[in-house]
Structures are given as C-alpha cells and as structure tokens.
Amino acid sequence: MKITIVTLFPEMFAGPFDESIIKRAKEKKLIEINFVNIRDFGIGKHKLVDDTPYGGGNGMVLRVDVLKKAIENAKDNSENEKVFLLSPHGNVFNQKTAIELSKLDHLILICGHYEGFDARIRNFIDGEISIGDFVLTGGEIPAMLVADSVIRLIKGVITEGSPEKESFTDSLLEHDQYTKPQEYKDQKVPEILLSGNHAKINEWRKKESLRLTSRLRPDLLKKE
C-alpha cells in the first residue's frame, strides 16, 4: 500500500514515521509513504499558497489552484486510489473507517493549515475525515493518526490476528490484559487466566469486554 501526505510541513513526520512498527513496515516494503509539499506549487517567486478570505475575516485560506496542483502531483492514478481532506467537516474517524482505508492501494491525505481550504477543493477529492470535535493548528497530527491506524491493519505489519481482537473492532472495548508478576501489592491476576482452560478464558474475556464497554462507553452499545 502507498500513502501520500500533502502538507506544508513534511518535516513534521520524520519522527513518528521513522520509529517502531511503521519503520519496520517500510523496511519490509509493506508500506510506502511519500510527501508532497504544497509550497512547491505556490504562486510567484515567494511561492504563495494562501490568501485573505473573500468577504473579510481573520486568517488566511489555502488557495484552490495551488492545492489542485499538489493533489494532481500526488496521484498515481491507480485504480484503487482515494483522496481525503483532514477537516472538521468530515465524518469522525473510527476503526471501521480505518479498515476500509487499509484496503486501498493508494491513500492520499491532505493536511490543512491556517484558516482552512478554499471550499472549491471539495470538487477534486473523495471525502473528508475528522478526528474529533476540537481544533488543532493543522492537519499534520490528524494525518499521522490516520496513517498509523491504517498501516497497522495491513497484512504482515503486526502479529497475524491481533487487529481482530482489539478495541472497537466488534464495537466493544477490549478486555483487560495482565502479565507477570502474578501478584503485585496484594492485587492478583484473575484466577481464570491461570487455569489453562482456553474456552473458559475466551468466555471471560467476552464478558469483560461487554462489562467494560457498558461501564465506560455505553454509546458504543447503542450503535449496535
């Protein structure tokens, strides 16, 4: 799979994408990550990428003509390719969306900045993604979040079978996990996990998932 990130600040991604699981996925050629710098398509000798909003108001707006050129440069026109804006107008990102995006051959993520985009850019994309009801300085951190969530779902990136057992995959929170020591400050690992009876352990884990979801995220159950 290929992920291309269209951004004014490609250097922001150096740390998160050069460590741990994502680094290994790149080394194994399971994922290719590219960057397109919006500034490269700026207007004039100063490479201007934004301008004041029509109708007045604070801040600067990213120009549609500049963004369109950056998007066209990012595309490889593969059959299974989609372009998304990171935007508060989009549907809130969740595990279901991550799974859908992980099936693409090429995912293009566009990071906003300043006061936002010229709305006409929506004529040249496939959708918008929000990561929640709050405001950030730009779309770079949301792009990191989306990319990380998608990459770990690609076959071979993490231990086979792990994603199917995680929180939100079946609209439930994952059950609690335990490891050594068996007892710590009078707190013991649940006896069932030491029993070796895998059928009983699986049953306990399912009940724990339901209990935790009911207590901590009842909204997830209402979606069912």
Q: What is the pLDDT of residues 144-202, one digit of tens each?
A: 999 999 999 999 999 765 555 555 567 788 999 999 999 999 999 999 999 999 999 99
Calculate mean pLDDT across residues 14-32.
94
Q: Which tokens in the block code for residue 73?
A: 């440069």
For residue 164, the model assigns a pLDDT of 57
pLDDT confidence of residue 103 = 97
Burial status of residue 148 (CB atoms within 10 A of its CB: 0-12, 13-18, 19 or more): middle
User: Domain-by-domain residue ranges, the chain?
Assistant: 2-151, 167-222
Q: What's the rounded mean pLDDT across residues 5-23?
A: 94
DSSP for 106-145 reads: EEEEEE-BTT-B-GGGGGG-SEEEE--SS--SBSHHHHHH
The arithmetic mean of pLDDT across residues 200-205, rounded, is: 95
**Residue 115 reports pLDDT greater than 90:** no
How much is the pLDDT for 171? 77
Residue 186 region, left (φ>0) first, then alpha (ψ -120 to 50), else beta? left
The answer to whether 2-151 and 167-222 have equal CATH topology is: no
The pLDDT value recorded for residue 91 is: 92
Give per-residue pLDDT as tens, 59-103. 899 999 999 999 999 999 888 999 999 999 999 999 999 999 999
Percentage of residues in the chain having pLDDT higher than 70: 95
Pick the CATH number of 167-222 from 1.10.645.10, 1.10.1270.20, 3.40.50.720, 3.40.50.300: 1.10.1270.20
Confidence at residue 114, expressed as pLDDT on a 0 to 100 scale: 76
User: Which CATH number applies to 2-151: 3.90.1150.10, 3.30.70.270, 3.90.1150.50, 3.40.1280.10?
Assistant: 3.40.1280.10
State which amino acid sits at residue 35: F
